[in-house]
Amino acid sequence: MRLIPVGRKNKYDPFGDTIVFVDSIGISPLTDRAYDIGYINSSYACIVSPEQRYNTIDISDVNDLLHEAYLSEPNVSQCTFIEMVGSYAFCSGSKTVTGDKFTVFNNDNPIAPTADATLIIPNNKRFRVAPSGNVGILASSDGIIRSIDVSTPSAMFEISSLAIPEAYAVDISADGNTAFIGTVDEANLIEERIYSVDISNPVAMVILDTLQAPLLKKISDLRVSGNVLYGCSRGNNSVFSIDISNISAMAHLDVHADAIKLIQANSIVLSDNHDVAAVCGYGDGYVSTIDISDPSNISVKAYNNHSFIDQVYGLILEGNYVFAGGRIAVVSLDISGV
């Protein structure tokens, strides 16, 4: 059943409306709130909710989003993040009474997804899988990153761990040999850092470099693009770029902060040709597009804070469209004018 939220209206960017609101699907009792969203294929996406919900959404028509399937799944209570590997959704950030869960869902049949495996890993945060699809790195704010064998998702297991204080955000280089870790110190007791880690041997990971980041508070997400590491910081409302051409001597390139268009920036995704990024924010919900054609001079291109883009944790960027999940709706946005 299609649900349209009450009070629908376009609340276009006062600085220019090149990001166009297309459609929304309301958060029903079956969905509650939507946190992160994952791309299954051109027809389907999946979302996780903090209230023990896992849903699939039909996105085949961006003008007519539809609920497809729903699972009540205790292992995704308070789940925050999704990492997709083919049709598998690895869901992290879950808090349950029986432990902090890391769960994989099988979406081979998107209208009947299944929960295939769960690990109990304290304080687990973001997860990224190497391009090979066999090994992933899971960051945990208890001060540990873990390498996870996901070659058989239904039988995934922890390979090894490495101590990194307040680990939160993570991404992996195209060759699969290096992981980059960003920290979030919620108590503001230590300076945030970015680490490069050799994961070529996932049994014995090694820290290569540590870059202090005094201008970056609460590094919430990271994305690798060639020799540049992009990220966002929800503590100082910014996106940033890091030179990683020498993984043993990383260097700051640029930081762009904006208290409106990047407030509490939470997630960042890159376009296929890596000249545009999309960022979403949790507090005052919005989606912004970022010009990253020059990594030394990044800037906001466009911004939309439609009333249904509210408390957005995650988003996906496919072609000319962004799909984002939030507190009251899942939305589709046209960025072809960017």
Q: What is the mean pLDDT of residues 177-198?
A: 87
Choose between 56 and 191: higher pLDDT: 56
Q: What is the pLDDT of residues 303-337, one digit of tens each?
A: 999 888 888 889 999 999 999 988 888 999 999 88
> What pLDDT score does 98 carry?
67
- pLDDT-above-70 percentage for the chain: 89
Q: What is the pLDDT of residues 241-257, one digit of tens each?
A: 999 999 999 999 999 99
> What pLDDT score does 189 carry?
61
pLDDT beyond 70 at 273: yes
Chain centroid offset of residue 73 CA? 21
Separation CA 127–CA 138 (nearest Å): 4
Task: For residue 96, count CB atoms less than 10 angstroms from its CB and return exposed for 0-12, middle for 13-18, buried for 19 or more.
Answer: middle
> What pLDDT score does 288 carry?
96
Nearest by Cα to 93 from 29, 33, 169, 32: 169
> What pLDDT score does 185 carry?
78
Which homologous superfamily does the CATH classification assign to the domain defined by 1-30+218-338? YVTN repeat-like/Quinoprotein amine dehydrogenase (2.130.10.10)
Cβ atoms within 10 Å of 94's Cβ, excluding its own: 26
pLDDT beyond 90 at 50: no
Task: For residue 29, count CB atoms less than 10 angstroms from its CB and return exposed for 0-12, middle for 13-18, buried for 19 or more.
Answer: exposed
* Domain map (residue ranges) of the chain: 1-30+218-338
**Mean pLDDT of all residues belonging to the chain:** 87
- 201 pLDDT tier (thresholds 50, 70, 90): very high
> What pLDDT score does 144 carry?
92
Choose between 283 and 328: higher pLDDT: 328
Q: What is the mean pLDDT of residues 7-28?
A: 61
pLDDT beyond 70 at 188: no
